[in-house]
Amino acid sequence: MTAELPTGDLTFLMTDIVDSTAWWDLDPVNMAEAVRRHEAIVGRTVAAHGGAVARSHGEGDSTLSAFERAADAVMAAVATQHALRSEEWPGAIGLRTRMGLHSGPADLRDGHYYGTTVNETARVRDLAEPAQVLVSSLTAARAARSLPTAYRLRELGPRRLRGVGRGVVVHEVVHEVLEPGDDGRSATVAPRPGAGPAVVGRARELAVAEAAIEHARATGGGLVLVAGEAGIGKTSLCHALTVRARAVGTVVAWGHSSPDDRRPSLWPWRQALRSWADQADPRVVDEARRAGGPTAVRLLLEPQADHGTDGHEPAAAGDRDERDAAFRGATRLLATAAAHEPLVLVLDDLQWADLATLALVEVLLPPEAATGVVLVATMRREARPRAGAAADALDRILALGATTVVELAGLEAGALRRCIHAIEPDPLGDDVIDRIVEQSGGNPLFATELARWAARAGPDSGLPRTITDVIRARVADLPGDGRRLLAAGSVLGRAWTAPEVAELTGLGVPTARRRLDDAVGAGLVVADGRDRRRFAHRLISEVVGQDLADAERTRLHRAALAALVRAGAPDADAADAARHATAVALADPAAVPAAVARLRRAALVADRSLAHDEAAQHLEQALALDDGSLDPRERYQLLMDLGTTYDRDGQVARAQETLGRAAALAQARGWAPELAAAAVARARVRRFDVDVVDDTGAEPLLAAAWDLLPDDDRSTRARVAAERPCRRPATPEDVEETVRWSATAIDLAQRADDQVALSRALRSA
C-alpha cells in the first residue's frame, strides 16, 4: 500500500486487464513485466488523486483502489487510462484495461475491503468494454458536482449486475483522452440495404482493411483477405468495407464460391465481372471488352460460357493455352476498367474456389500484374483445403507481398451484447445474455441464433438445431478416433493436452496429437498454450457432450478423476476433481460422500483465493448431492461453511438464511455448541447500509443456545452473551439489558481465560 487506506463511505475503482490469460499464455516473461508496469501506473495515478490501492484485489490481474471523493476517483480512472494508452509495452504485449466505479460503505479488515459495495464495483467493471470507464448512478451523482468541465458522464441506461439480482443505471466517463478511436468500442458501420445487422466491435479490423485497400490502390493492386471461422463476421465486414468504398465513388462487384463442385470454373470471377459490367459506364465496359479480347470476354462475361454443349465445363476453360490467353485478356480488361474508376472485386468463400479461380487471383496480383484493381476475399480457416493443388495455390497467394490478411477473432462481450440487442430488442435478461455470450465464444452468428432461440422457445430450451446441426456435421467429418478424443475433451473441461485425452480413450499419444491437429484444422479445437488444446467454442463442447451416452460420460469422468488422483490432485486441480467426482456421484449414489469431500476441498481452495462466489457454488453443489445419506453433522458443517462464505461474498440474505438452517438443524438435534456457533455466526452477519435494531433476526437463536448450553461451558456462553446486547439501544431498558449482557460476557470470558471471547465481549460493551 502506498497510502493509508480510508474508511467509511467511499468510492471504489476496480480495474481489469482484458485478455490477460491469453497474454500470459502467449508471452509470460513480457506479460509479467507489463503487469508490473500496469500496477505501478495505477499506483501513481491513484496516489496523485488522493486515493489508495488496497493490499489485495482478490482476482487475477485486477486492482482495487479507494477514494474519499467520487470526483477524485473518476479523474484518477481517466488519468490511468491515458497513462496506460501512452505506455510502450514490452514485446508484442498490448494491454487494454476496463474500469468500474461504485460508491458505498465497506468493511476494512487487515488491509482488505469486504462487503456488497466491493462486489458491486466488480460487477460494474465487468460491464465495461476495453479502455472504457463505467460508473454507477450513485457515483455519478456524487462526482458530477465536482468534476471539471472537460469530463462528461454519459448515461447508458439500466444494466443488470451479474450475480447481484438487481439492476443499476450506469454512466460512461467521456473525456478527450477516452474518445473512441483504437479501442474497438465505437465500431458500428451501417451495411448496405438488406445486408443484415451493423458491424459491431471491428474498428481495428476495419481500419487495417481500409489501409490495405488504399495501399493496394497506390501500388497497382492487391488482395485483402478476411479470414476466420464460419459466422465470425467476415462477409459483414466486407459489406461494411464496400459501403465505405461506394461512398467515395468506387465500383464494387461481388462473386461467390460454393462447395458445389458442379459450378463451372471461374464462377466467382464470372459473377463479379458481370456485376461490374451492369454497374459501370457502358462506354467503359465497351472499351474494357475490346482491351480484353474475345477469349476473356467469352469466358468471363458471356452467359453461354456457364455451360458447355453437354451441360459440363466448356472446353475452353480447360484448355491451358486458351486459359492463359483469357487470363492475359482479363488483366488488360481489368486494368482498363480500373483506369476509368476505382474498382473493388469481392470474392466470397475463397476456401471453396476452383483451381482456375485461384490461378487468376495469382495472375492479377503484383508483381505478376499491376491492374490497379483491389481484390477483397473471405476465407473460412476451418474449411480451407489442407492438401492438394488448391491448398498449394492458397499458400502461394498468402505468401505474396501484395496480400494482407485480416484475421477476425471472437467479439468482445460488450460488442456481442450489442449484436444481440440489435436482433432481439425485447430484454432477455442479463443472466440469459451472459450465458449466450459465454456459449458463443465471441461468434456473432452463434450469439444471435442463440438469442433468437431463447426469445422464441425460452431461455432453458437447449440449443437450436441451426447450431447443433452445423456442429454435428463438422464433428462427423472427423475420423472415429478424433470424435472419441473430442468426447474426452468435453469431459475434461476448458483445456487439455494430447496425453490427457489419450489416457482417457486408450489411444497412443502420437495418434492423439495427429487427430487433434485434424480437429484444429476443422476449426473445432484451438491451441491454448504450447501443448494444450481447447474447444473453439463452449457450444462445441456442449453438443459433443450431449451426444455422449450416460454410461460413457460417467466412465470418462471416473477415469479423469482417477488420473488426477494418480497425479496427486494438487490444489490447482481441486475444482476439476470436484467436478468429475460430482458427475460420478450423480450416477452412483455410493460415490456421494467422496464427491462432497472433493467439493469441500475445492471450496476451501477457492475461498483462500478470495473467490467467494466460486466457493459458494461448490458448497451449494455438495448440499444438492445430499439425498439423506450424509451424516447430519456433515450437513451441519456444510451449511455453516456455506453461510459464512455467503457472508464473505456480501450476500447478506443468503448468509442469514443458510446459517439459520444450520442453527435449526443443531437445535433439532440438541447440539448446544453447534447451535451456539450458528447463532453467533448469524448475529455477526452485518449489513452496512441498514440502520435498524437487530436486523439479523439472530436473537431467538442466541436465546435458545444460551438455554441449551451447560453452565460450565463458560467460553461458549461468553461468545453467545457478547452477541446479545442491543445494537441500537432505544430505551432505558435496552441500555440496562445491554450493560447486563456485556458484563456477563466479560465475566464468563475472564473465568474461562478465553482471550478471543474476552476481546469480543469488550467490543460489545
β-strand pairing of 343-348 with 374-380: parallel
Same domain, 165 and 291: no
> What is the number of structural domains in the chain?
4
Mean pLDDT, residues 325-336: 92
Closest CA to 349 of 306, 308, 312, 390: 390
Predicted pLDDT of residue 262: 60
> Distance between CA atoms of 679 and 656, rounded to whole angstroms?
10
Is 80 a member of any domain? yes
Same domain, 123 and 234: no
> Distance between CA atoms of 47 and 3, rounded to whole angstroms?
7
Same domain, 430 and 350: no
Q: Mean of the per-residue pLDDT values for the chain?
A: 82
| 212 contacts: CB under 8 Å, gap ≥ 6 | 222, 224, 404, 406
| Percent above pLDDT 90 for the chain | 25
Q: Between 309 and 686, whose confidence is greater? A: 686
Is 495 a member of any domain? no
3-state helix/strand/coil string of 216-271: HHHCCCEEEEEEECCCCCHHHHHHHHHHHHHHCCCEEEEEECCCCCCCCCCHHHHH
One-character DSSP codes across 630-657: S-HHHHHHHHHHHHHHHHHTT-HHHHHH
Same domain, 195 and 84: no
Domain membership of residue 441 as a residue range? 413-462
> Distance between CA atoms of 189 and 375, rounded to whole angstroms?
21
Same domain, 132 and 203: no
Same domain, 353 and 417: no
Provide the CATH number for the domain around residue 295.
3.40.50.300
Torsion-angle region of 462 (φ positive above 0: left; ψ -120 to 50: alpha; else: beta): left
> Distance between CA atoms of 738 and 664, rounded to whole angstroms?
26
Q: What is the pLDDT of residues 412-458, one digit of tens each?
A: 888 888 877 766 656 677 778 888 888 788 888 788 778 877 777 77
Predicted pLDDT of residue 177: 41
* 3-class SS of residue 4: coil
The H or E element containing residue 396 is helix 389-399
Final residue belonging to a domain, choices 362, 385, 407: 407
DSSP secondary structure code for residue 351 in this structure: G
Mean pLDDT, residues 304-313: 43
Residues facing residue 109 across a β-bridge: 112
Closest CA to 212 of 85, 38, 401, 70: 401
Predicted pLDDT of residue 728: 55
Same domain, 363 and 283: yes
| 610 contacts: CB under 8 Å, gap ≥ 6 | 56, 58, 59
Q: Among 306-320, 548-562, 646-660, whose mean pLDDT is lowest?
A: 306-320
Is 515 a member of any domain? no
Is 431 a member of any domain? yes
Is 590 a member of any domain? yes
One-character DSSP codes across 12-24: EEEEEETTHHHHH
Residue indicated by cell numbers 455438495: 622
Same domain, 373 and 282: yes
**Cell numbers representing residue 755 in the block:** 482471550
**Cis geometry, peptide bond prior to residue 464 (ω within 30 degrees of 0):** no
Same domain, 417 and 402: no
Is 536 a member of any domain? no
Same domain, 355 and 380: yes
Predicted pLDDT of residue 693: 42
Residue indicated by cell numbers 454497374: 279
Final residue belonging to a domain, choices 141, 157, 177: 177
With 0-12 / 13-18 / 19 or more C-beta atoms within 10 angstroms meaning exposed / middle / buried, residue 537 is: buried
Predicted pLDDT of residue 480: 80
Does the pLDDT at position 192 exceed 50? Answer: no
Q: What is the pLDDT of residues 494-525, one digit of tens each?
A: 788 889 999 999 889 999 888 888 888 777 88
Same domain, 224 and 298: yes
pTM: 0.53
Provide the CATH number for the domain around residue 60.
3.30.70.1230
Is residue 682 within 8 A of residue 663, CB to CB? The reply is yes
Final residue belonging to a domain, choices 111, 145, 177: 177
**Which of 301-305, 328-332, 377-381 has maximum average pLDDT?**
328-332
Same domain, 457 and 559: no
β-strand pairing of 63-67 with 9-17: antiparallel
Is 757 a member of any domain? no
Closest CA to 334 of 370, 362, 306, 366: 370
Mean pLDDT, residues 11-35: 80
Q: What is the pLDDT of residues 661-710, one digit of tens each?
A: 999 999 999 999 999 899 888 888 865 444 444 455 788 888 888 888 89
Is 398 a member of any domain? yes
